[in-house]
Structure 1
Amino acid sequence: MLVVHHLNNSRSQRVLWLLEELGLDYEVRHYQRDPKTMRAPLELREVHPLGKSPVVTDGATVLAETGAIIDYLVNRDGERRLTPEPGSADHLRFVYFMHYAEGSAMPPLLMKLVFDKIAAAPVPFFVKPVVKGIVAKVSADFITPQLKNHLDFLEAELADRPWFAGQEFSAADVQMSFPLEAAAQRAGLDESRPRLMDFLRRIHARPAYRRALERGGPYAFAK
Structure 2
Amino acid sequence: MSEKIKAEKRTEFGKGAARRIRREDKVPAVVYGHGNEPIHLTLPGHDTMMALKHGGANALLELEIDGQTQLALTKQVQIDPIKRHLEHVDFVAVRRGEKVTVDVPIHLVGEAARETLVVTENATVQLEAEATHIPETIEVDIEGAEVGTQIHASDLNLPSGSTLLTDPETLVVNVTQQVSAEALEAELEEAEAEAGIEREEHEEPAGGEAPAEAAADGEAASEE
What range is the shorter-chain TM-score in? under 0.3
Give TM-score, length-normalised by structure 2.
0.24
Give TM-score, length-normalised by structure 1.
0.24
Higher relative contact order (CA 8 A, sep 6+): 1
Greater share of helix? 1
Greater share of strand? 2
